[in-house]
Amino acid sequence: FETVRTCASCHGEGTIIEKPCTVCKGTGKVRKRRKINIRIPAGVDTGSRLRIQGEGEIGVFGGPPGDLYIYIVVRPHSRFVREANNLLTSVQIDFVQAALGAEIEIPLLGGEKHRLNIPEGTQPDDIITVKGKGVPHIHSHRMGDLKVKIKVTIPKRLSKKQKDLLMAFNDDKEEVKEQKKGIFEKFKDAMG
């Protein structure tokens, strides 16, 4: 039986160089470090692969050069967490803003600001979605959303006046509950 393998003397080129170059050792190739500028498209994520045509290894026997492949690793952001093309963040508001509603300013990914409307009666851990303020989809002009998780801060110390106001609010809340009895409560009251 026969096997075919590349010639150890000419490396399959068909010629032997009598006086090989001391730099390339007769291969015709020299390793060289160089920097190239590449454009990273908006919306790439960790695991994305970019192909830079013609920037790879030099071609064999005078052929065209190969391609350079770049594998992307996106560093975590200090304020935003990425979920596909959506961004997640959280914002602190006080319990008065949560109860009465408010308009607050929040930062966006690019550094600009956005006015966020906090609806009246917002609960802790509610999520408010801001459409189109996430990460761009890589193959379209659509944008993901920004999802803002609401964190409500409760004061640890209150003044006497604040305590009195909250107690008055609590008393008023009990009266409102009594006024808003459901049909079953009204039926129970009527039956004795």
Would residue 140 count as lying in a domain? yes
Is 26 inside any structural domain? no
State whether 148 and 177 are in the same domain.
no
Confidence category of residue 9, pLDDT binned at 50, 70, 90: confident
Are 170 and 190 in the same domain? Answer: yes
Residue 60 belongs to a domain: no
- The answer to whether 129 and 147 are in contact (CB under 8 A) is yes
| Pair 91, 116 in one domain | yes
CATH of the domain at 123: 2.60.260.20
Q: Are residues 123 and 166 in the same domain?
A: no
pLDDT digits (tens, 9 = 90+) for 55-72: 888 887 678 989 999 999
Domain count, the chain: 2
DSSP for 14-73 reads: S---SS--TTTTTSS----------PPPTT--TT-EEEETT-SSPPGGGPPP--EEEE--
Domain that holds residue 93: 81-154
Q: At 132, list the tokens.
A: 């189109």
> What are 94-113's pLDDT values in tens digits?
999 999 999 999 999 988 99
Q: How confident is the model at residue 19 (pLDDT cuts 50, 70, 90)?
A: confident
Same domain (yes/no): 164, 190: yes
Same domain, 178 and 115: no
